[in-house]
Amino acid sequence: MAYADLDPALDAKSRIAGGRAYSSSKLCVLLTARALARRPEASATSLSVVAYDPGPTPGTGLVRSANFAVRSVWWVLGTPLLLPFLHNLNSRSRAGGALAELALGATRPDDGKIYAALRRGKISWPELSELASRDDVMEALWKDSADLVGLSE
Protein backbone atom coordinates (compact mmCIF):
# COMPACT_ATOMS: atom_id res chain seq x y z
CA MET A 1 0.00 0.00 0.00
CA ALA A 2 2.85 2.39 0.73
CA TYR A 3 4.26 2.01 -2.78
CA ALA A 4 1.15 1.91 -4.94
CA ASP A 5 3.18 2.81 -8.01
CA LEU A 6 4.75 -0.66 -7.82
CA ASP A 7 1.35 -2.32 -8.33
CA PRO A 8 0.13 -1.33 -11.80
CA ALA A 9 -3.13 -3.24 -11.31
CA LEU A 10 -4.34 -0.63 -8.81
CA ASP A 11 -4.54 2.31 -11.18
CA ALA A 12 -2.78 3.62 -14.25
CA LYS A 13 -1.71 6.74 -12.34
CA SER A 14 0.36 5.95 -9.27
CA ARG A 15 -0.71 9.17 -7.53
CA ILE A 16 -4.37 8.14 -7.74
CA ALA A 17 -3.55 4.59 -6.65
CA GLY A 18 -1.52 5.94 -3.75
CA GLY A 19 -4.39 8.20 -2.67
CA ARG A 20 -6.80 5.27 -2.74
CA ALA A 21 -4.41 3.09 -0.77
CA TYR A 22 -3.88 5.86 1.78
CA SER A 23 -7.60 6.48 2.30
CA SER A 24 -8.31 2.76 2.44
CA SER A 25 -5.71 2.34 5.18
CA LYS A 26 -7.29 5.20 7.17
CA LEU A 27 -10.72 3.57 6.81
CA CYS A 28 -9.26 0.31 8.11
CA VAL A 29 -7.81 2.13 11.14
CA LEU A 30 -11.24 3.55 12.01
CA LEU A 31 -12.98 0.22 11.52
CA THR A 32 -10.38 -1.57 13.65
CA ALA A 33 -10.70 1.04 16.40
CA ARG A 34 -14.47 0.58 16.40
CA ALA A 35 -14.09 -3.20 16.59
CA LEU A 36 -11.55 -2.95 19.43
CA ALA A 37 -13.79 -0.57 21.38
CA ARG A 38 -16.61 -3.13 21.19
CA ARG A 39 -14.52 -6.00 22.52
CA PRO A 40 -15.54 -7.19 26.01
CA GLU A 41 -11.95 -6.69 27.16
CA ALA A 42 -12.21 -2.97 26.42
CA SER A 43 -15.26 -2.40 28.60
CA ALA A 44 -14.03 -4.76 31.33
CA THR A 45 -10.82 -2.74 31.74
CA SER A 46 -12.23 0.73 31.03
CA LEU A 47 -9.97 0.84 27.98
CA SER A 48 -10.40 3.92 25.84
CA VAL A 49 -9.85 3.29 22.12
CA VAL A 50 -8.99 6.30 19.97
CA ALA A 51 -8.00 6.53 16.31
CA TYR A 52 -5.83 9.64 15.97
CA ASP A 53 -5.38 11.78 12.86
CA PRO A 54 -2.60 14.35 13.29
CA GLY A 55 -3.76 16.24 10.20
CA PRO A 56 -1.34 17.82 7.75
CA THR A 57 2.02 17.82 9.54
CA PRO A 58 5.04 18.73 7.42
CA GLY A 59 8.37 17.15 8.28
CA THR A 60 7.04 13.69 9.11
CA GLY A 61 8.27 11.88 5.99
CA LEU A 62 4.78 11.30 4.61
CA VAL A 63 5.77 12.54 1.15
CA ARG A 64 9.25 10.99 1.14
CA SER A 65 8.34 8.94 -1.96
CA ALA A 66 6.79 11.86 -3.82
CA ASN A 67 8.56 13.65 -6.64
CA PHE A 68 11.13 16.34 -5.87
CA ALA A 69 8.71 19.24 -6.44
CA VAL A 70 6.12 17.92 -3.97
CA ARG A 71 8.77 17.10 -1.36
CA SER A 72 10.29 20.57 -1.74
CA VAL A 73 6.98 22.41 -1.34
CA TRP A 74 6.02 20.30 1.69
CA TRP A 75 9.44 20.92 3.26
CA VAL A 76 9.20 24.69 2.71
CA LEU A 77 5.68 24.80 4.18
CA GLY A 78 6.93 23.08 7.32
CA THR A 79 9.78 25.48 8.04
CA PRO A 80 9.57 27.26 11.41
CA LEU A 81 9.31 30.63 9.64
CA LEU A 82 6.21 29.74 7.61
CA LEU A 83 4.36 27.25 9.82
CA PRO A 84 2.92 29.88 12.22
CA PHE A 85 1.19 31.57 9.27
CA LEU A 86 -0.26 28.41 7.75
CA HIS A 87 -3.14 27.77 10.11
CA ASN A 88 -4.30 24.53 8.44
CA LEU A 89 -0.98 22.79 9.11
CA ASN A 90 0.15 21.34 12.43
CA SER A 91 3.69 21.38 13.77
CA ARG A 92 5.37 18.09 14.60
CA SER A 93 5.59 19.12 18.26
CA ARG A 94 1.86 19.92 18.43
CA ALA A 95 0.94 16.66 16.65
CA GLY A 96 3.11 14.70 19.10
CA GLY A 97 1.79 16.68 22.06
CA ALA A 98 -1.80 15.96 21.09
CA LEU A 99 -0.98 12.25 20.78
CA ALA A 100 0.59 12.34 24.26
CA GLU A 101 -2.51 14.06 25.67
CA LEU A 102 -4.68 11.29 24.26
CA ALA A 103 -2.36 8.47 25.37
CA LEU A 104 -2.05 9.82 28.90
CA GLY A 105 -5.77 10.52 29.24
CA ALA A 106 -5.30 14.29 29.61
CA THR A 107 -7.71 14.64 26.70
CA ARG A 108 -10.54 12.14 26.68
CA PRO A 109 -13.06 11.34 23.98
CA ASP A 110 -16.62 12.53 24.14
CA ASP A 111 -19.08 9.71 24.85
CA GLY A 112 -19.19 7.25 21.98
CA LYS A 113 -16.40 8.94 20.03
CA ILE A 114 -13.29 7.09 18.86
CA TYR A 115 -11.91 9.43 16.20
CA ALA A 116 -9.69 12.32 17.29
CA ALA A 117 -8.51 14.74 14.60
CA LEU A 118 -5.98 17.50 15.12
CA ARG A 119 -7.14 20.53 13.17
CA ARG A 120 -5.45 23.91 13.48
CA GLY A 121 -3.64 22.67 16.57
CA LYS A 122 -6.81 21.63 18.40
CA ILE A 123 -8.21 18.14 18.96
CA SER A 124 -11.70 17.66 17.59
CA TRP A 125 -14.01 14.64 17.53
CA PRO A 126 -15.53 14.48 14.03
CA GLU A 127 -18.29 12.12 13.01
CA LEU A 128 -17.24 9.01 11.13
CA SER A 129 -18.06 8.61 7.47
CA GLU A 130 -21.03 6.46 6.51
CA LEU A 131 -18.71 3.64 5.42
CA ALA A 132 -16.63 3.79 8.62
CA SER A 133 -19.86 3.61 10.64
CA ARG A 134 -21.15 0.43 9.03
CA ASP A 135 -21.13 -2.58 11.35
CA ASP A 136 -21.10 -5.11 8.50
CA VAL A 137 -17.91 -3.59 7.04
CA MET A 138 -16.30 -3.43 10.50
CA GLU A 139 -17.13 -7.08 11.23
CA ALA A 140 -15.92 -8.23 7.80
CA LEU A 141 -12.58 -6.46 8.27
CA TRP A 142 -12.20 -7.94 11.78
CA LYS A 143 -12.93 -11.44 10.52
CA ASP A 144 -10.69 -11.14 7.45
CA SER A 145 -7.84 -9.77 9.56
CA ALA A 146 -8.18 -12.60 12.07
CA ASP A 147 -8.18 -15.15 9.23
CA LEU A 148 -5.06 -13.60 7.68
CA VAL A 149 -3.07 -13.97 10.91
CA GLY A 150 -4.50 -17.36 11.86
CA LEU A 151 -6.67 -16.15 14.73
CA SER A 152 -10.10 -17.02 13.40
CA GLU A 153 -12.73 -16.84 16.09
CA quadruple 120, 126, 131, 137: dihedral positive or negative?
A: positive
Q: Phi-psi region for residue 89, left (φ > 0), alpha (ψ -120 to 50) or beta? A: beta
Phi then psi for residue 44, to 5 deg, are -70, -25
Q: Which residue has the higher pLDDT, 92 or 97?
A: 97
Residue range 80-106: mean pLDDT, rounded = 80
Residue range 65-81: mean pLDDT, rounded = 66
Identify the pLDDT of residue 104.
94
Identify the pLDDT of residue 56.
80
Give 78's DSSP letter.
T
Give 53's DSSP letter.
E
Report domain extents, the chain.
1-47, 50-128
Tell me how far apart the alpha carbons of residues 139 and 121 are, in angstroms, rounded to a whole number: 33
Chain Cα centroid distance, residue 114:
12
**109 Cβ contact list (under 8 Å, min separation 6):** 48, 50, 116, 125
The tens digit of pLDDT for each residue in 4-17 reads: 556 656 666 666 77
